[in-house]
Amino acid sequence: MRFIVYGAGAIGSIIGGHLHRTGHDVILVGNAKHIEKIKETGLRLVTPDEIHVLKIQACKKAKDLTPFKEDDVLLLTVKSQHTLICLGQLKNTDAPRTLPIFCVQNSICNEALATRVFDRIYGVMVRVPGIFLQPGEVINPISGNAGFLEVGLYPRGSDELTHTVSEAFKRASFVGGVNEWVMRTKGAKCLRNLGNTMGAITDGKGDNSEFMAAARREAMEVWRATGIEWEDPEQFDRRTRKRRGITRMPKDYENIHNRGSYWQSLKRGTGNIESEQLNGDLVKLGCLLGIRTPYNEVLWRVAEEMANKCDKPGKYTAEDLMRMVKEIHKNRKKGKA
């Protein structure tokens, strides 16, 4: 079986790297600078226990994957805002509709999009710490194991391939397993990830507890109205934290400051951020249902503006964002919105 890791950033490179070092056939597809560095000096996978320099196959474009093999499995690890374009790239390179697509991503939107193009869709819930700040190197700051991955069919269930892929992940030092209700678990992770935007915008400045509690209440109200299911968040945290390793920065990397993948997007000045696929998705659903979601609206709009302007994390405090929500309420009372 060949694992195609499509979107080899932090998570994709870490998963692909661990699969490769444990004897699996892996090819990474990623951005030009990252791939060039990997081809030149290997993928540098940094963990608290060891630094692995991996001579792993890597390419920049979907066309370099052809011809596709019967036993190919594609791990889609791109940010959610890039899912549609990547699916199109694959399809336009004659990837068969039967190619198994494992959505190793945040958000609960990707699997539904993938069904438009491919027939065999799987969800993967990811709790893997990863940092990607420079080409050719990713940091997996966890000891005991490499992180938590759960696999299931979309929209629910399991098959032989879910078990095969899950076993490969286990051999590659990830814990987790097969979860027939993986989309419920991804829903719980989404509720948790709503705060990623806050971390990117504020860089930890201010008390965000009241704001984020309100943002998550909005999400649950919208999801209840649409019939979306999610695992109890406290149960999710207990279950996944119990088995997940201990987060620890590797030696000589202790000074790296990181508040998640959204923070990394702003820090690296990529020009885009995943907020629309989490906070923005809630706002759009809320508009269709007539449910107001001002807390998620502020998070989405501010993050998009910062990404477009290449602003660095920490431009606003949690209190600044709360004032923006109050301004929305004020304008609505005046009939401006």
The CATH number linked to 271 is 1.10.1040.10
The CATH number assigned to the domain holding 6 equals 3.40.50.720
208: in domain = yes
Domain total of the chain: 2
Question: Quick one: which of 18, 65, 54 has its CA closest to 168?
Answer: 18
What pLDDT is stored for residue 139 in this prediction?
Answer: 97
Bridge pairing between strands 43-46 and 51-54:
antiparallel
Tokens in use for 87?
Answer: 């699916």
pLDDT, tens digit only, all 337 positions of the chain: 999 999 999 999 999 999 999 999 999 999 999 999 999 999 999 999 999 999 999 999 999 999 999 999 999 999 999 999 999 999 999 999 999 999 999 999 999 999 999 999 999 999 999 999 999 999 999 999 999 999 999 999 999 999 999 999 999 999 999 999 999 999 999 999 999 999 999 999 999 999 999 999 999 999 999 999 999 999 999 999 889 999 999 999 999 887 889 999 999 999 999 999 999 999 999 999 999 999 999 999 999 999 999 999 999 999 999 999 999 988 887 775 5
73: in domain = yes
pTM: 0.94
191: in domain = no
Check: CB of residue 100 under 8 Å from CB of residue 294.
no
Tokens in use for 130?
Answer: 């990863």
118 and 172 belong to one structural domain: yes
Give one word for 141, left, alpha or beta, with left for phi > 0 and alpha for psi -120 to 50: beta
Overall size of the chain counted in residues: 337
Q: Nearest-5° angle of CA 270, CA 114, CA 23?
A: 75
Tokens in use for 146?
Answer: 């490499």
What pLDDT is stored for residue 329 in this prediction?
Answer: 87
What pLDDT is stored for residue 333 in this prediction?
Answer: 77
What pLDDT is stored for residue 336 in this prediction?
Answer: 58
190: in domain = no
What pLDDT is stored for residue 309 in this prediction?
Answer: 97
240: in domain = no
149 and 27 belong to one structural domain: yes
169 and 208 belong to one structural domain: no
159 and 16 belong to one structural domain: yes
159 and 24 belong to one structural domain: yes
Longest dimension (CA), the chain: 64
320 and 255 belong to one structural domain: yes
171 and 200 belong to one structural domain: no
326: in domain = yes
151 and 211 belong to one structural domain: no
158 and 277 belong to one structural domain: no
Q: Return d(Cα 274, Cα 102) in angstroms, integer.
A: 19
Bridge pairing between strands 43-46 and 121-127:
unpaired
218 and 260 belong to one structural domain: yes
329: in domain = yes
187: in domain = no
What pLDDT is stored for residue 331 in this prediction?
Answer: 86
Q: Is 40 helix (H, G, I), strand (E, B) or coil?
A: helix
What pLDDT is stored for residue 337 in this prediction?
Answer: 52
145 and 201 belong to one structural domain: no
* Domain span holding position 61: 2-180
219 and 110 belong to one structural domain: no
